[in-house]
Amino acid sequence: MTVIRLSLLAALALFFAGCASQVRPAKVGDVGGVDRTQQRAVQSEMRASDNYDAMIPKTGARFLSNPPGANVEWFNDDGIWVSVGSTPSREVVVEATGKPELFRVSLQGYLPQTRWVAATPSSQGVTVEFALQRELPSDRYVLSESR
């Protein structure tokens, strides 16, 4: 009987010792023991992004093509072509850091063209002109599988 009482007392002591060692939240809404490193890293990245957007010099780029009406696309950092308008375009905002950006101009019936566009902080704007060349008519070439 004494052994049962001692083991029961030991179990209760361990139970209450475990409960007492838990960290209590400091204020309402806090979860005790949570590592906030991830949250601080995300907040820091967001602040850096906001500073980048506010501090980086920008300028306008204008795209022209002969013939007009071509689609203008920008190759973004994720590797996706993003349409930014058609020629003659309104000014497209580009970084004025000297870093080249890749743009593509395409029009039905004409060969597409790509070009690197870069602007420096001292530039007042960039004008990029494309002279598009016609594709060959479909009756002038034969598509066939080689044997």
Residue with tokens 């044997």: 147
Question: Of residues 103 and 4, which shows the higher confidence score?
Answer: 103
Give dist(CA 12, CA 100) in Å, integer: 70
Give dist(CA 88, CA 16) in Å, integer: 77
In tens, the pLDDT along 93-130 reads 777 778 888 899 999 889 899 989 888 887 788 888 88
Rounded percentage of the chain residues whose pLDDT exceeds 70: 67
Give dist(CA 31, CA 89) in Å, integer: 53
Rounded percentage of the chain residues whose pLDDT exceeds 90: 3
Question: Of residues 52 and 65, which shows the higher confidence score?
Answer: 65
Count of C-beta atoms within a 10 Å radius of residue 63: 24
| 147 token code pair | 């044997």
Region of poorest pLDDT, from 25-34, 49-58, 85-94, 137-146: 25-34
pTM, rounded to two decimals: 0.56
Count of C-beta atoms within a 10 Å radius of residue 51: 10
